[in-house]
Amino acid sequence: METTKNKLSPYETIFFDKLSNYLDTKIYFFGSIQRYDYFPGISDIDVDIFTDNVSRTISQIQNYLNIDKKITIKFIYKIDKKNSEYKIVNGHKIQYEDPENSLSVEFSIYDEKFKELVLDEHNRKTAIPFFVTFFLVIVKYLYYVLCIIPKDVYKIFKNFLMNTCIDGKDAEFVALDVKKE
């Protein structure tokens, strides 16, 4: 997942290479950039970053990208394992927008100890059934291109398709706090 199924633009390639070098760590891509429902220049790019020092990595990202240091989302995520077991993972999200270059990135930063578990979960949602991909493309087209459905409705359809249609239940993902001025 260090490479992408869909081709990054030259700007995006340079952006992620420079950031990876600055952080001195690998960046792992997941989500639509790894599937057929990706809309270049419109879809956000989801990335995972794993580190031994989460606070330092968050600060590095915020400094490098000149992002307000008060805006992060701390979350917990219940990941189902085999035999009805599950693990609770905590992490942080940072949203980055560069409209001038049509780049939107959602960073998920985790402790290194969660790496295998999170990557397995994200990889599992890369090869999705055809009917889910088909409906995701339609919903994204209605939202991104035709702009005829509102964001909250888009999110409901997308979550239903990616969670209920694949796993038979909603994802258990809870934002713990949103830090804003």
CATH of residue 36's domain is 3.30.460
Considering the entire predicted model, what is its pTM?
Answer: 0.90
Assigned domain for 84 exists: yes
Assigned domain for 85 exists: yes
Assigned domain for 149 exists: no
Which of 120, 60, 123 shows the shortest CA–CA distance to 92? 60
Assigned domain for 53 exists: yes
- For every residue of 43-60, DSSP letters joined together read S-EEEEEEES-HHHHHHH
pLDDT tens, N- to C-terminus, the chain (181 residues): 689 999 999 999 999 999 999 999 999 999 999 999 999 999 999 999 999 999 999 999 999 999 987 788 999 988 876 556 788 999 999 999 999 999 999 999 999 999 999 999 898 889 899 999 999 999 999 999 999 999 999 999 998 998 888 876 655 667 776 554 4
Assigned domain for 157 exists: no
Question: 62 is in which domain, residue-wise?
Answer: 10-127+170-178
Distance CA 120, CA 181 (A): 36
**Domains in the chain, number:** 1
